[in-house]
Structure 1
Amino acid sequence: MDRETWMYRLDRFSQEYLDNLLEFEKAANDHRVHRGKSHIWCPCTKCQNCQKFDDWHIIQGHLITEGFMSRYTRWSEHGELLSDGITVDVGSNYDDVNDSEDDNHDNLDQMLDDIEDDGTYTDYENFQQLIEENEKPLYEGCKKFTKLSAVLKLFNLKANNGRSDKSFTKTLEVINEMPPEDAKLVRWHAEERKRDGKMRHVADSPKWRNIDHEFEEFGDEIRNIRFRLSADGINPFKNMSSRHSTWPVLLCIYNLPPWLSMKRKYIMMSLLIQGPKQPGQDIYVFLAPLIEHMKKLRNSGVEVYDAYKKEHFQLRAMIYCTISDFPAYADLSGYSTKGKKACPVCEENTQFRRLKNCNKHVYMGHRRSLPKKHLYRTRGNLSDGEDEKEEMAPPMDGKTTFSRVQNLEVVFGKCSKNNQLNNWKKRSILIGDNWMNRVSL
């Protein structure tokens, strides 16, 4: 029976599977003895040749309960190599084959053990770096190679094939160009974005252009990052219990293409606030360290290396906008989204009604935002029974908004109160003094 069949198609609890598993046990034990090691790498779906065990029965249990990792019909980590398209056993003539796939894990373990045992190695920092590079995957999600094992693999190929230093250096340069250019994608919004007058990306918005105009030093460097901040409360226990609340605070990079900016790998969870209740206005206490870091990035920036342009530059960043639901909007903005003036755009002109039977407010007047001659303005039967004749008031600019909260004094905690008569309860931590006269919110 071929390996593809018994390794991946048979019932792993059947006697036939167990009998074939003895073939793998023999190959793995022969390879262990030949290499002079006490351990065997486990090729199950969870370990994937990244965990080693001295006891074969542990590996046997993994292979029965979890099964073999995908596409492992050639047991490369257990003494086999592929030569001219034929799988052969190299247990007896391993040292005579130069093209064999060396056991990277064994080689690295032996190398680091030798260095550590040798008392002549005095550069402790470099040795610690070797240890760290041996623990880091070559790239995110890579389980077969670490950064150090990949370098060792390339050097083995160079030595075994007698390649010149020049040829080897050129090979490394080509390999360096193969991985995805994340560094280049930070420039996508300025260099590769389609510009046809349509709203395809956040960079097409008037606000993006206003920032470029008002803060020329920031806008001139296209690699400067514009973050979107999002916060919301979740319950991780799959029920509606009010005894626990978890609030993640996320940062998304708007410089990236729209099909990447919302991918999980490009979203940074900067805070995770946990407690018996939602933080409310006290969320500013938790946000304060993040805002301090953002101020530093906005004002002085940090020196970073651009792998695409191969140069150092001063990177700056800003919180471009926030996106949240209405309750989280209230916590972040300082405007209470409850009561008779719950709309932060309409404020005093918020249209509301009090439902007598349930004692709740509902908010009307949404048809005011439609064009003056829109058909739905006269379709009162679809709404509150009346025609809509009012116009929507224009939203406030940054100066007006700041004037509402400029003199607010807020004490954090349950007993905090202020003397404000409208729905503005606190000054948002996201509003900076030096920005209030320049950028609209």
Structure 2
Amino acid sequence: MDKGNKGWWEFPRWSDVYEQGTDEYIEKAFATRSQGNQISCPCCTCHHRYWYGRNDVRDHIICNGFVPRNDESFHLGRMGPEREAEDLQHDEPSNMNDGIQELLHDALREGPNEEAKKFLNLIEEGQQELYSGCKKMSRLAFTIRLYIYKCDHKLPDVAIAGLLEFFKEVLPDDAILPTTMHEAKKVLKLLGLDYKKIDACPNDCMLYWAEHANATSCHVCGTSRWKSKESDQNDNCNEKPRRIPSKVLRYFPIKKRLQRLYMCAETASYMTWHKYGRENDGLLRHPADGQAWINFDKMYPSFSNEPRNVRLALATDGFNPFQTMSIVHSTWPVILVNYNLPPWLATKSEFLMLSLLIPGPLSPGNSIDVYLQPLMKDLDDLREFGLETYDASTNTRFDMHVALLSTISDFPGYAMLSGWSTKGKFACPCCHYEVDSVYLKYSHKFCYMSHRKWLDLDHPWRYNKRSFNGHIEARNEPVRLTGGEIEELLHDFPNEFGKEQPKMRQDADDPNPWRKFSIFFKSPYWKHCDLRHNLDVMHIEKNMFDNVIGTLLAIPGKTKDNVAARRDLKNLREEKGLRWVPELEGKELEDGSEEFPTSMFWMNDNEKQLFCQTIRNAKLPQGYASNISRCVQVGDRKITGYKSHDAHFMMHYLLPIAAKETLSSHVATPIIRMSNFFKGIWKKAIDPQDLDNLQSEIVETLCQFEGIFPPAFFDIMVHLPVHLVEEIKLGGPVGIRCMYAIERYLRELKSDARNKGRPEASMQKDSWPKNVQGLWFDILVNQKVHLKVLLIIPIKLAPHKNFSQSLVILSRVEERPQRRNKLEL
């Protein structure tokens, strides 16, 4: 290197000159001034204060930068004996300081910890050339890219084995390739991409885990742990009998995966976005803007003082892993959502952490707490003891603590996680014991009305008897139960799990809406979380759209205005003195038959066709929505087969136009107001001053619906929107707290279930490296894998249309002129 030019340390750290200068410096420094295979680290963080080995010094110089000495004698090739002795005098650890320097190092805790060093050393060891002279891809990079290719294209292990054989014939003889796919998986396990198999009772009574790990039968129901008994095995005593567990839970440990989030400087900076990157303009953009987050920080200041502590939400839902719905099977994954990340990253599939894969074929129901035990054990350890973690953005170590703030699920899943029954008399968990529910004798279900309780106390509708149920409404809106009140109610609740346990039913004389004391309350901070369970806006919006469309178009099986609903009006007036929409009550004729008057929302066939035609003829931008016209059947006057996002789009934009064109203003006005409400709560940035207007909008809309539709229209999903504004105040915008991202993730899991005999096993095999934050770093094809290119987002190869393009992996390891990507850290 020409000493007349600028020093190598002034070049960009991604350049060849910088790497070459680093290697030359390390070689000469260790040859002249090493002590016990260590030298004082000259990086910008250490400043010659700490001593490290060869690999650690190289990593520090490349990641943190180099600090040259001011005197010329220190520069490479000019270290004289006098300078060497002076360096040793100043830098060598001395016994005279009684370990003060080491204590200072431990106090500052700079540099990677032991777990990070193991991971980084493994990456360094994997930088072997794929073959002599290969500069495009290392052995580790080739193995990982090959595994991603397998998962993306759903290739079996046999196909990969054949591809490896083909590569061996094409590549040079000294190429180091994995011989089988099993050998490639071993590398991923060393990277921390592992999972645990925990046997479970087929009746969901217990896990063979912890103190019951060696049990052979369930201590609750007595069912055997194995599918076949030992007596049915091979009679040869020398052979160990093969035992197949009846049910297997797959648990993906979260501790190392959370640590890896901080091993990349870019991702580590995103983990503190909620503290340093969030705009403080008073708008609600993130759960950190909600009152629940603020109250939690006040309750636990020691946790909130460290912004790198992780806050999670737990999401779960059941799905059928098969492509045909004729097979009854329900698999329940448990996914963790990282609330430290900004909203545009928190719901990406790369950052959703699959932690549990609960096997089918039936839903675990209330026994889901049995399967949550391993996850809750790790969460409690992380909350109480923390975990020493290396932060690459600051090159320091800290004790990472974790808190679970809330859960995300659909309404049946809400009951499974919270323990509150979402069916029957007390179906609303927000109104709890103060819910207004009325049983409809002919419709055989409960309805939930009396929304005037949420109006202002001086609102004239509170005193309007004629337009509502015939009574004055003087009650106040219900107040949510706090976590402390729930804990006091259920502190001695007898939890009994398993399918063999008798089902708890609500007694008419003493209805009990609780089904269990949730496992989340074992965490002492859970009772102080103001928003423990989120109402899913996605399903609420779709169900409300279903009720409106089905009733307006009188779709058979979907409409809420039928003969049973009309008979319920008369029954409510005679038995309970409630006069709901009296103009819809039927009249008994002389011949004993009944005559029902038409409703104000009734449409003739021509109006229904116009309603459907308006939605079908809508011209939408490319990619803005799906092909909604396929769901509209103008001739049959139906709108069916649409998905949740289709309902979301039609609710916001198309339904108001169709209602205005075909319905009277008395009916179209509340429908338009309902659409505006849902459009308002789906904003990415919400002004808190608009929330009171949104609340009054939905309350008045529901009150108007009470004067239009029969009581059968008001199921629990029509009632729940009255609580959504309150949850926005507590938890922030609904986009990061709904099931859209989870449903998209479940679609990826469903595509991985190719073995119908063992769907969960095939899902974990492919979701392990690809979907579950499996690859903790990004491999740049044109560079060596190094610390400076460690990323969290996994690379996914672009989909290929034919087999000839599947040789992309082989083409990327060929010799060709090297291109550099300008990457600055």
TM-score (norm 1): 0.58
Matching of residue 261 in structure 1 with residue 341 in structure 2 = no
d(CA) in 1 for partners of 2:484 and 2:285?
A: 29
> What residue in structure 1 maps to residue 521 of structure 2?
431
Matching of residue 395 in structure 1 with residue 459 in structure 2 = no
Within-5 A mapping of 1:166-315 = 181-238=266-323, 240-241=325-326, 243-315=328-400
What's the offset of the Cα at 1:241?
A: 4.7
8 A Cα contact 2:520 2:526, kept in partner: no
1:422 to 512, 535, 539: 512
Partner of 1:342: helix, strand, or coil? coil
Q: CA RMSD in A?
A: 3.9
Change (3 A) 1:382 1:278: farther
What's the offset of the Cα at 1:364?
A: 1.5
Partner of 1:226: helix, strand, or coil? strand
Partner of 1:181: helix, strand, or coil? helix
What's the offset of the Cα at 1:378?
A: 7.2
Percentage identity across aligned positions?
37
Change (3 A) 1:55 1:192: closer
Change (3 A) 1:384 1:200: farther
What's the offset of the Cα at 1:403?
A: 1.2
What's the offset of the Cα at 1:357?
A: 2.4
1:317 to 398, 402, 405: 402
Change (3 A) 1:373 1:234: farther
> What residue in structure 2 maps to residue 345 of structure 1?
430
d(CA) in 2 for partners of 1:238 and 1:381?
A: 52
8 A Cα contact 2:521 2:527, kept in partner: no
Segments of 5+ residues of structure 1 without an aligned counterpart are 1-34, 36-41, 60-104, 117-127, 137-178
Which letter does structure 2 place at the counterpart of 1:430? F
d(CA) in 1 for partners of 2:468 and 2:383?
A: 46
Which letter does structure 2 place at the counterpart of 1:252? V
Partner of 1:275: helix, strand, or coil? coil
- The structure richer in strand per residue is 1
8 A Cα contact 2:265 2:393, kept in partner: no
d(CA) in 2 for partners of 1:236 and 1:379?
A: 52
What's the offset of the Cα at 1:373?
A: 4.7
> What residue in structure 1 maps to residue 174 of structure 2?
110
1 or 2 for the larger relative contact order (CA 8 Å, sep ≥6)? 2
What's the offset of the Cα at 1:383?
A: 7.2
> What residue in structure 2 maps to residue 356 of structure 1?
441
Task: Give a deviation string over 1:380-408, Cα, whole Å, max 9, x none.
Answer: 89876776543212112221111111110
8 A Cα contact 1:408 1:418, kept in partner: no
Partner of 2:372: helix, strand, or coil? helix
What's the offset of the Cα at 1:236?
A: 2.7
8 A Cα contact 1:352 1:364, kept in partner: yes
d(CA) in 2 for partners of 1:247 and 1:376?
A: 45
What's the offset of the Cα at 1:254?
A: 0.3
8 A Cα contact 2:318 2:331, kept in partner: yes
Change (3 A) 1:203 1:382: farther
8 A Cα contact 1:411 1:417, kept in partner: no
Deviates most, 306-315 or 361-370: 361-370
Which letter does structure 2 place at the counterpart of 1:427? F
d(CA) in 1 for partners of 2:438 and 2:269?
A: 53
What's the offset of the Cα at 1:269?
A: 1.2
8 A Cα contact 1:214 1:439, kept in partner: no
8 A Cα contact 2:452 2:461, kept in partner: yes
What's the offset of the Cα at 1:54?
A: 6.7
Change (3 A) 1:411 1:132: closer
d(CA) in 2 for partners of 1:276 and 1:297?
A: 32
Which letter does structure 2 place at the counterpart of 1:226? R
What's the offset of the Cα at 1:300?
A: 0.6
d(CA) in 2 for partners of 1:286 and 1:431?
A: 15
Which letter does structure 1 place at the counterpart of 2:174? Q
d(CA) in 2 for partners of 1:258 and 1:309?
A: 23
Deviates most, 225-234 or 371-380: 371-380
d(CA) in 1 for partners of 2:413 and 2:153?
A: 39
Change (3 A) 1:383 1:262: farther
d(CA) in 2 for partners of 1:256 and 1:364?
A: 39
Which letter does structure 2 place at the counterpart of 1:428? S
Task: Give a deviation string over 1:69-117, Cα, whole Å, max 9, x none.
Answer: xxxxxxxxxxxxxxxxxxxxxxxxxxxxxxxxxxxx947x72648xx9x
Task: Give a deviation string over 1:175-212, Cα, whole Å, max 9, x none.
Answer: xxxx8811110010000100122211110112112221
